[in-house]
Amino acid sequence: MDRRYPAQIFTHPRTDERTMNSENQPPAALRVLLVEDNAFDVLMAERILRRAEIPCIITHVDRLTAGVEKALEGTDLVLLDLHLPDAERHEALAAVGRFRVPVIVFTGDPSPLRTYEAGRAGAIAALSKFAAHTELLPTILFACGVCHASGTLPTNVAEAIEKAYR
């Protein structure tokens, strides 16, 4: 059975000059799709993103097939676990290109081989869940920077990131 969680929005508590966009409106949020079946890992990722200086909308699904569908509905970035109820590592890696947005592989296996496989599959980065407390936000910001450079990150999200971290 596919459990779908409604999108949740976590915004920075301040709406001061650092978080307002050029039209003096609250900025758009970074839309993050979390494809993860472990409740602890979901809570950990949400908690880290809640502490970020940028507004985030986090949508969570626990199946690869639901993740691909949700990504096509509109998301800026995917955090993808490699071991899901409907897909193991090879199937999850094979699906990276179907998301059509940048994918960060979010795995409990920190081996260099998994990092290599994620890159070979087209992921923008691979991140060990063991390093998430210190590396998740910088990895997401790096991915957003790459997307901004390629013109695929919405301008208002880029503005919000740049203002938040000045």
> Which tens digit of pLDDT belongs to each residue from 55-79?
889 999 999 999 999 998 889 999 9
Cα dist from 85 to 18, 36, 43, 103, whole Å: 41, 9, 18, 19
- 103-107 and 125-128 strand pairing: parallel
- Distance, CA of 87 to CA of 82 (rounded, Å): 8
Q: How is residue 121 written in tokens? A: 């599959």
Q: How far is CA 110 from CA 101, 142, 159, in A?
A: 23, 19, 33
Q: What is the pLDDT of residues 133-156, one digit of tens each?
A: 899 999 999 999 998 998 888 888
Mean pLDDT of 34-40: 96
- Evaluate if residue 160 carries a pLDDT over 90: no
Stretch 26-51: mean pLDDT = 89
CA distance 36 to 20: 31
**pLDDT-derived band at 24, boundaries 50, 70, 90:** low
Query: Distance between CA atoms of 25 and 19, rounded to whole angstroms?
Result: 9
> Distance between terminal CA atoms of the chain?
44
DSSP 101: S
Are the C-beta atoms of 80 and 104 separated by less than 8 Å?
Answer: yes
- The pLDDT-based confidence of 163 (bands split at 50, 70, 90) is confident
pLDDT-based confidence at 7, cuts 50/70/90? very low
pLDDT of residue 22: 53
Q: Which helix or strand (DSSP H or E) is residue 54 part of?
A: none
**55 or 34, which is more confident:** 34
Domains and CATH numbers, the chain: 8-164 (3.40.50.2300)
Read off the pTM.
Answer: 0.81
Identify the band that residue 164 occupies on the pLDDT scale cut at 50, 70 and 90: confident
Q: What is the pLDDT of residues 101-133, one digit of tens each?
A: 899 999 998 889 988 999 999 999 999 999 998
